[in-house]
Structure 1
Amino acid sequence: MNLALSPAIREADPAAPEVLSILTATSPENVAAALLAALGDGGDGLRIVFACDWPQAVRTVPETGGPTDVFDADGALLALRSGSPDGRATLLADDEEGAVALLMPALPDGARHRAVLDAARQRMTELLSLERLGRSVAQFSQAEQVQHALFAIADMAGSDLDMSEMLWELHGIVAGLMYAENFYIVMFDRERAALQFLYFVDAIDSSGPELGSEMALADIERGLTWHLVTGGRPLMGSQESLATQVSGPIRFHGADSLDWLGVPMRRNGEVLGGVVVQSYDQANRFGERERALLSFVADHILTAVERKRSKESLEQRVAERTRQLAEANEDLQKQITERLRAEHLQAALYRIAALANVDESSERFYAQIHEVVGELLNAENFYIALLTDDRRHLEFPYFADTVESPQPQRPLGNGLTEYVIRTGRPLLLDEPEALRMEAGGEFAWSKGAGVPAVSWLGVPLGGQNGVMGMIAMQSYRADFHYDQADCELMTFVSYQIASSLQRRKAAEALKRLNAELEQRVHERTQELREQIAVRERIEAQLKHQVMHDALTRLPNRLYLQDRLDREIALLRRRPDRRFALLYLDVDRFKLFNDSLGHLAGDDVLKEVSQRLSQCVREPDVVARLSGDEFAILLVDIEKPEDACGVAERVQQAMQRPMSIAGRELQTSASIGIAFGDTRYRSTDAILHDADVALYRAKGAGRARHVLFDDSLQRQATDVLALEHELRAALANEEFEPYFQPLVRLGDTRAIGYEALIRWRHPERGILTPDKFLSVAEECGLIEAIDWQMYRAACAAAIPLVKDGGFITLNISPLHFQHDDFDERLLKVTTETGFDPKNLRIEVTEGTLLGDPEAVARILDRLRVACVEAALDDFGTGYSSLGYVHRFPLKMIKIDRSFVDSLGGDRSQRSSAVVGAILALAHSLGIEVVAEGIETEMQRQALVAMGCVYGQGFLFGRPQEPAHYGG
């Protein structure tokens, strides 16, 4: 041993026994004992107080067991550290890191004991420092072990272990930290005053509580566990010691343990359970270390248990939800089956009803009824029995049976068929029931020589005068019996069969009556010949009536056509003799008719006819064509200006107020003029040109006249040419979709695309809708073009929505006039492979107001099929706020007229409107898209108001699918 000795030790004899025993001591207690021994008689009454982590774990040699030594020693140490001598102690060690040793009381000054004191100071300082270092290493090792244990507990909470396996693993982890052979975990529900033992292992007590079951807290009242969860404080020690730690008595349950340690598990200050270990062995006792360790681990055990319980609860809820969904699916399948059955039944009833109108033989008629019934249930053996007109006999117009032969007509008896007709109720029988009823005198049932029926079903046929007959089915197979459901079904079908039979009888009776009538007509022919002369006399009068309007007494269309034919024929002979046709109608005549009534409207027409007649010469013709349409034929005029002059006189005459139904009305007329020359070969041609000029006059604002010329002819020709090209484009599939993105305004990321139609014209290139849609609507091609567009858009958009999003299709109001529109649209998605959940349709407010109930039904069915609806151009219609809540809408699109002025002079008013729309949509749970965004200022204004989505040229113009990678 190489020791650095102090000068006092070197001056004394280092090899002196007392110094050497101090320097070679291996523990602070040994140093203290050697020092006291070296002091000899002077050491009587002395004691040495020391600690490696002052003032914690202070020890005394010799042991006194009193706190006074520690208190005095601590006071003396403070005085010595301040440099003041203190008679209470001599300082042996103080490294300012917790290693302190004091000799108490202090020795008097002198060199007598200097050597042993210096040796004691040196050795005590070294050993206390080593002891502190050892404790630090042990504490670090223990902390690392605890940390690993906590990590393991946290991992188990998220593992696939069930609760019992996890708790067994938790027991193992706790046992690795401390003695825990006897260990249990209990949960506490304060509101229900109940306990649940999650885990219980005890080497001695084999009759522990039932795991997982709930136990009333009163069942273990005043027990250790009861005190633990109700007191909320850790309890540790022997039974005697535990009695001093609780208030009130203790009732011990189970085996008597030598040492017991329990700590509560808390969450937010509330006791939720406890963790307990107990020992029956003197060698395994619990101390402060175990209590602190178990208290620390208990919180993590509670977290693990709660997480595991939450996971198991979630799994149970998922399983329960899965079960509920399975039950709902089963119910839905039953509903579908029932609906298909109902549809099948409805189709059968339609077919039976239609048979009454088919001109076929009676044999074929009854055979088809048998065929329809056979599609609903087993009708291999089937017959129809009807009462004769005198209701005394029974006839069998149809009889199909695999065993029995067709039955001839017979008088009414007491058989099964007569029983059904007599009672007017359906009858379902098997052989034992038939024998029982026969024994009761209900009917006479004779098997005859044939094979008896195993099951028999008969249903009466009701007529206007009571039961008219019955239909019956029978089975000879032991493996097939009719049941009550078959009886109810045939009862329902019998009503339609009876109705068809009555209608067919009525039709046959009508044929007989027609034959009789033809005979009577033939007989009357001779009489009618005698009346022909009389009819010829009045023919001239009838012709005049046919050629003139009954209301206004003016010539009608037939008369005008006849005159035009003559004028055109005369024009061919005399090209210099011209004529003109004025085609006119009364502006707003329908308003007069609707407001004042048809009688007042007739008075208006009479007044108009009189004024028109006053504006022409004697040879000219004023005719009423239909409704409020009139025509004036001007004959023998020189130039078109003359016809225009007459038109001006007519308009002046029409503008004079007229008194009708006690009210003064202001009228006007629109006039189209066609000037007759050699180019006309038919009346239809000049009527057409005059009608085109009239249409142009009404389109220009009414109360004016237009002369047909070459420009109108070219426009009409262009429309016809465009119509022809549209038909060819439809056949060649030249219509294709362009897509414009709908974006999230915050990050401008596309969430969907609006499909917009384009026409790839073979000569004029890409045409926008304004170049052709109006003509398509007029010529009735718009619906066919739409369906071609829908199909192309769905096919082209599949790559665009493969990662999510949707496309929108603009739907014309015409489509909602067809109740099967949703079925056709879903068929398009099926044929193109497009997922319906990625499809939305855009409708206008005018569409919603056309037939609200029908539109709502179609939109509801589309929503069930995952196709959502968007309301386009929101805010420009008639009743936006009043109707938007009535329809199943996913999205509304704010019209661009409100977006254009954002950031401008009208920004405040537009912002108020947009804000109101956003609030409405938010309250109804509807998404909002702002249309027509073209500037960053508009985007920022919309974002500030809370608008999430937008669309416009700022984010992109309509492009081909390939532009977006489609």
Structure 2
Amino acid sequence: MTVQFGRSLALDAAAQQSLPAALMRARTPAEVVAAWFEHDPLLDTHCACVLWSTHWPRDIEAFPDACADAKCVADAIDAVNRVRAGENDDASPRVLYDDGEGAVAVLNTPHACLSPDPAVIARLGDLLDLRRARERVARLEQAEKLQRSLYAIADMAGSDLEMPDMLRGLHRIVADLMYAENFYIALYDRERDALRFLYFSDVVDNTMISPDQVLPLASIERGLTWYLTRDKRPLMGDTDELREQVSGALRLHGADSSDWLGVPMLRDGEVYGVVVVQSYTGERCYTTAEMSLLAFVAEHILTALERKRGRHELERHVVERTQQLQVANSELRREVAERERGERLQAALYRLAALASLDETSGNFYRHVHAVVGELIDAKNFYIALLSDDGATVSFPYAADEHEHDWAARSYGRGLTELVLRTQRPQLMPRSAVAKMVASGEVHPDVMGTPTCVWLGAPLLSTEGAIGVVAVQSYEREDAFTERDAELLTFVSYQIGSSLQRRRAAELLRKANAELEHRVEARTLELRDQIVVREQVEAQLQHQVMHDALTGLPNRVYLRDRVERALAGLRRDEACGFGLLYIDVDRFKVVNDSLGHSAGDAILQQVAKRLAACVREPDVVARIAGDEFVMLLEHVQKPETASKVAQRVLRALQPALHVAGREIRLSCSIGIAIAGNGCESVDRILHDADVALYRAKDNGRNRFVMFDDAMHETAMGVLDLEQALRDALVRDEFEPWFQPIVRLDDAGVVGYEALLRWRHPERGVLSPAAFLKVAEDSGLIGPIDWRMFRLALESGRALMGEERFLTLNVSPRLFSQNDFDQRLLELVDEIGFDPRALRLEVTEGTLLGDPENVVAMLERLRERGVEAALDDFGTGYSSLGHVHRYPLKMIKIDQSFVAPFASGIAPRSSAVIEAILALGHALGTEIVAEGVENDAQWNVLRLMGCPYGQGYHFARPAPLGHWLGQ
């Protein structure tokens, strides 16, 4: 026995000696804990469990996994909270390591006698610190990757890449930032209310969409892309989550994805397109951070697309103009060739040919033509008419007539000149032919001037048609002109038309040459200035990335860089403290909604100027979002200094602003945070200042509040409660309790009201007052309400008897959803609950929020048998005079009117209740008195004729098992 005992001691000693080597080989916290358990069998024997995380109390890991149940995790969280509060009693669970920032390790064992090896604690702490350091490096690498991506997008917008190549490049950039195997970009055409999918890549959906195809939004109505365009806000999640995010019913178009993320491309509050990524892997791919990242990248994608499209339009215009010049030059060459051929054909008429080629003024040209025509035919009365470019007027640049003297330009009408212009053929018109034309309406006598015996006109033709008329006329003989004269005048008209066209062509050629020389000179200057322009563009892009486009102030990126440098200086020298002022313009949304976004932008610009005047170098004023500004005050260690600056800001905003013809007075709320030795990150000090800002808003606005530790604890409490609510939904910790509604005559039960309760794993059963505000602020009230409806209807069926009913409390926001009644009725049908036994309790504020919509929805519910009850009547804004507008089955009198009856009859409350009872009798509405707590209240209400009551005197709310006797 002695030999065996000695051998056991030797084995234990060998195990202890090999533990440090195993710890040094471990590369993760899990390997450290596994080595510890392997070398210490007592840990398994005593059912020990080690829990650790670098983001405590989130992302908790454990060894062994089977021991880390919900209670074990909750006990570990409580132990860490006790240690941080200075209440460490070395009891189990025991905190092995805590760096105060989130790296925590806890040992949980039923036997407190186990003592951890210091080497295990040291190695576990080292690896947790190493993991946090790597996570910080990963975040920095992600930020650097984003910056490189934005530079890449800007470079592609200014490159010579074709649009398809640039879009593929954008896809690669987005894929480098997140999972984007399935990716598309669509631009929104507001005039046609349609989308054009510039880029579409999907491994499942094989739909072929051309970039030039215009897809009307009506064809994908109620789809995800449709909601992105209409609601102007991002969407993310699986199909069920997306149904809760959209503002109406959801219809799927195309393949259904397991995870979907889409953001609108916004500019000045208007949607210009959408960017979407999606996954079919069956796993959750996208996070809220990636949604913000994609929205930020989408802005730069929109800018790149607009720049690329503008460049393409310019290049297309240059190509078209060049082609037009080529066509014009070709036309000119053809016309010159034809004129040369015509001149060769007219060799017999030397004077006319020579006249056509003479370079004289228009007046001399027309006089020479008149002289030549006069040698060939009787041209004593002669004129030339020209048609304006727009075809609206007819002018007479040359005329010689013995009777007619008014040759002013006239509007295009029904004269003989216009007849030749319309027909583009020569016209020989004796007096008899003119009379026939007047009788048929082809010619109007008021346009003809002095009557003639015969009129002869020939068109001056060009490639575009008739541009004018050459005409001769006689006032003496009707046979003054013959068909031979018409042919000769027609030949002369060709010469005149050719000469006019040649003059115009020469002018066009001169202008074309001048324009070509100008373009060559401009291109030369462009090539010379290309390097300078590129440098200017790069500088401008750098400025745009770091500054706000509206106000010119630094943006969030610039601010974070400055705060990072300030933090670095604080770490080097504790005397280099600094402060942040988080500023929010009070009620800016009201001003923006009332006056419009343009006026809102003008207000923000003026506010920015006033804020910039409140600081000195090297302090910074930055606009980080909407109407939110941040001041960085460097070399500030005392809160009094930051308070003086905050007072200066409040005074600076007091004078009125003049915008859109109005005088606007603004105020602001300010949150102040001073960075001391405990400030570890930019996000932390920004969060502290933001918390102080909201405290200032809650305290009445137009003031500043300094951040303190109490605010931090409050904010953390709200976050913990919000996370607990999310966990409660997952773990199904909500349940309905029921309180009976009775007849006051005999206390018989006529119905039950379903009340929400939260069976908290640590705090027990909680009423809505403990968590309702956080649920509403976080948006969780919707899922909680629908879960409550389902549970209440499923449980309440067991309580329903003959003539009994069940009432559900409905929050006002549900009535703002157009499909609330449809969803509720579908739930009732699914569960099999009789809709005639269901009543919905609504508040007076719900009825007055959107009366028309509420009345319509209640009427639709009543058609299916679901009635409405007005809860807490008398505490809101309703009056006895307009309750009849709403389809109500029941009115519940608020307990504030019943409470005075605790010691007998109260005259004021009696008058109000008698009025309500009279109203209910007149409208055929049931009346229920709430808050009946004792016999005195019961007796008074019964004597007054109140039919129904509810309160603790009859029964308190209790779970279903209580009422079923279980």
**TM-score normalised by the chain length of structure 2:** 0.43
TM-score by length of 1: 0.43
